[in-house]
Each structure stands twice: as C-alpha cells, then as structure tokens.
Amino acid sequence: MAVETRAEGHAIELRPVIANEATSVPAPEAVFRLEQLSCWYGPFRAVKDIDLAVGAKRITAIIGPSGTGKSTLLRALNRMNDLIEGAHVTGQVTYHGVELYAPEVDPVEVRRRIGMVFQKPNPFPKTIYENVAFGPRVAGVRGKDKLDEIVESSLRRAAIWDEVKDKLGSLGTALSGGQQQRLCIARAIAVEPDVILMDEPCSALDPVATLRIEELMWELKQNYTIIIVTHNMQQAARASDETVFLTMDEDRAGYLVEKGPTAQLFTNPQNRLTEDYVSGRFG
C-alpha cells in the first residue's frame, strides 16, 4: 500500500501498517540516551549537542546530507572514535542507564555488546569460518563444537548460510560485495550483541543486494536494536521505525533537527529543513 507524500514527484513507498504504528519511545525502554552529546576531533566539533533516546528492538535511521557527522555520531555509540587520535566527546551517552564514557568502562566490553557493520564490507582476509569465529574466540569461547554451532547460527541469521555452507573454508574476500556484507553482519551477530550499528551498509552494493540487506534488517529487528546511518532517504523511509535528521550548522557541526516515527517524519515533517531535505530540495 503505497502512500504519496506532498513532495513533488518523489513518491516514497512506505511499509504498510507496521511503520505507522511506531510511537515515540517511553522512558524505561530506551537503549541509548544521549544528553547534549558533542563529538570532537581535536578542536573541531563534528557533532553538536545531540539529545536523543533510542528505543529497543527497533530500527532507527540517521539521515542527513554528507558531512553532517552522522557516521561520527554512530561511531560514538560503540566508542569506535576512540581509535582516532584527538577524538573525544562532551555531554553524556548512557547505555541501559550506564554511562558509556565513564573512565571505568572498557571499550572492549562496549564493543562486544554494540556491534558494527561498516560502509565498505571489510571481511578479514581469512576463511569464512574464521571470520565469524573470530569474535566469539576473542570473547573466550573455546571448543570446536561450540564454535561450529555459533558460526552456523550466525550465518543462518544473516541469511547467507545456504550460499556458503559448502565453502566455509574458502576466503571471505572471495565473495561478492553483497555476500561479503552479509558475512560481516554474521560476524557482528556472532558475539551476540545487544545493538547493531550500521554505517551506510548498502552504499557500496547494488540495488538487489541492498534490498536483501534491508529485508534482513527487518528480520534482525526482532532480536537486536538497530541504528543505521544512511544517505539514501528512500531506504530510511522503507526500512526504519524511527528517523533522526541531522544537518550542518554554520560552523560545520552537525546538529539534530528533528526526530520521530518514520512515517510521520516523511509525510508530515515539523521542521522546514526536514521538509526541504526529504522532498529533495537540498542534500
């Protein structure tokens, strides 16, 4: 059941019913709470004063023009920005009530609970089996049987098991782009995270592979909280429950313009900038 928007010529097809029922997040269910979060690279502020609550077991999309700090914001949630010299945050991120950037918190533990799928598929130059088994291994899982089980279930849940079950010993890098990305999703799932962050996971893939991943996301939503950064508005509209719109300030810092249930944000945006963006007038 397609729904036309007010935008000129841009018909945006929305998932029927389910998306329309998304409501804003009641307080106890929030997985993440961001309070005045700013992300800095040295003296440069990439993301400014974000206030946001992310709900559990749903797909939240972060959209906006390029350069607005969407990836930076995403990477702040699993402390991947720690890897970049000079990167730091101000403000607060709480994850299930725990302050993520508290000094006692170990980023390694954070990343076992909050997994990530990257823009360009980056399977390890190892076998498919090794790719998926690496995460559980470093988390302390021993024993071939247990690992075999985890590998199979992860590859199944990533909807790629049938395609690779006979070649688990072949190189992960030999798969096609779409398959590599699903392998990366399996890899992320293997450590049984709570949240999966996806940084433009389909931008390097063809439309058919993209659609498969979107379908996969919809299935994964039942077990994981998913936050996806995407350049592709139609994808956000198709595939997410909540949408967050960022844009750039004069000082090149990204800030949150509007957030809300996807259907509502796309059909009835509250903010003029949001409306301009989703109707394709800029960005």
Partner 1 sequence: MIGAGNAPGPMDLRGSVARRRREAIIRGLFMAAAGTSILISLLIIASLVGEAWSFLSRVDLSTLVSDGWFPRRGRYDLATLISGTLVISAIGMVVAAPLGLAAAIYLSEYASPRRRRFFKPILETLAGVPSVVLGFYALAVLAPTIIQPLCGNNSLFSMGAAGLGVGILITPLVASVAEDAMHAVPLSLREASYGLGARQRSTSLRVVVPAAVSGIVAALILGLSRAIGETMIVAIVAGAVGGSQFTINPCYPGQTMTAAMTALATGSDQVRGDALAFPSLFFVGLVLFLVTLTLNVVSERFVRRYRRAI
Partner 2 sequence: MAGQPATVRLSPAQEAVRRALEGNRFNVGQLWFQLLLLGSLLVVFVVLITLLLDVLQLGLPVLLERGVDFLTAGTSSNADIAGIGQGIFGSLLIIMFVAMLAFPIGIGAAIYLEEYAYDTRLTRFLNASVRNLAGVPAIVYGLLGLAVFVIFLGPLTGGRSVIAGGLTMGVLVLPIVVITTAESLRAVPQSIREAGYGVGATKWQVIRSHVLPYAAPGILTGSILTIARAIGETAPLILAGGVLGGFATRPGTGAVETLQGPYTALPLIIFNWSRQPSDTFREIAAAAIIALLVFILLLNATAIYLRNRFERRW
Query: Strand pairing partners for 59?
Result: 226
Residue 225 has a CB neighbour count (10 Å cut-off) of: 22
Please answer whether residues 46 and 40 qualify as being in contact, where contact means their C-beta atoms are separated by less than 8 angstroms: yes
The minimum distance between CB 185 and partner 2, in angstroms, equals 12
Residues 224-253 contacting partner 2, CB under 8 A = none
Please answer whether residues 266 and 241 qualify as being in contact, where contact means their C-beta atoms are separated by less than 8 angstroms: no
Q: What's the CA gap between 32 and 25, in Å, rounded?
A: 11
Can you tell me which of 80, 185, 191, 248 binds partner 1, judged by CB under 8 A? 191
Please answer whether residues 78 and 117 qualify as being in contact, where contact means their C-beta atoms are separated by less than 8 angstroms: no
Can you tell me which of 108, 148, 149, 271 binds partner 1, judged by CB under 8 A? 108
Q: What's the CA gap between 62 and 228, in Å, rounded?
A: 6
Stretch that binds partner 1, among 102-110, 167-175, 261-269, 274-282 (CB under 8 A): 102-110
- DSSP labels, 258-279: EEEEHHHHHHS-SSHHHHHHHT
Can you tell me which of 97, 143, 169, 207 binds partner 1, judged by CB under 8 A? 97
Which residue is listed with tokens 């980023």?
107
Can you tell me which of 22, 74, 184, 220 binds partner 2, judged by CB under 8 A? 184
| 99, containing H or E segment | strand 98-99
Short-list 243, 239, 207, 209, CA closest to 221: 239
106 is a contact residue toward partner 1 (CB under 8 A): yes
Can you tell me which of 152, 192, 203, 232 binds partner 1, judged by CB under 8 A? 192
136 is a contact residue toward partner 1 (CB under 8 A): yes
Number of residues this chain uses to bind partner 1 (CB under 8 A): 25
Q: Binding marks (x or -) toward partner 2, 63..102, rule CB under 8 A?
A: ---------------x-x--x-x-----------------
The minimum distance between CB 62 and partner 2, in angstroms, equals 18
- Residue number, 125 or 280, with CB nearest to partner 2: 125
- Residue number, 184 or 191, with CB nearest to partner 1: 191
